[in-house]
Amino acid sequence: MNKIIVTFSVNGKEITLKVGPQERLLDTLREQLKLTGTKEGCSIGECGACTVILDGKAVSSCLILTGQIGGSEVFTIEGLEKDGKLDPLQQAFIDYNAVQCGFCTPGMLMSAKALLMHNSHPTREKIKTALDGNLCRCTGYEQIIEAIESVAK
The 10s digit of each residue's pLDDT in 90-137 is 999 999 999 988 899 999 999 999 999 999 999 999 999 999 999 998
Mapping DSSP to helix (H, G, I), strand (E, B) and coil, where does residue 6 land? strand
Which amino acid type is present at position 31?
E
pLDDT category of residue 138 using cuts at 50, 70 and 90 = confident
Looking at domain 4-79, does it have CATH number 1.10.3720.10? no
pTM above 0.85, yes or no: yes
The third-level CATH classification (topology) of the domain covering 88-152 is DNA polymerase; domain 1 (1.10.150)
77 DSSP 8-state letter? G
pLDDT at 70: 98
- For 69, 114, 115, the CA distances from 54, given in Å and listed in that order, are 9, 9, 13
Nearest to 49 by CA among 126, 118, 127, 102: 102
Give the gyration radius of the chain's Cα atoms: 15
The SS3 of residue 73 is strand
Task: Report the pLDDT value the prediction gives residue 125, as an integer from 0 to 100.
Answer: 97
Sequence ranges of the domains in the chain: 4-79, 88-152
Q: Same CATH topology for 4-79 and 88-152?
A: no
Q: What pLDDT digit, counting tens, does each position of 12-48 carry? A: 999 999 999 999 999 999 999 999 999 999 999 999 9
Sorted by sequence, the CB contacts under 8 Å of residue 29 that are 6+ apart come out as: 10, 35, 38, 52, 61, 74, 76
**pLDDT computed for residue 100 by the predictor:** 87
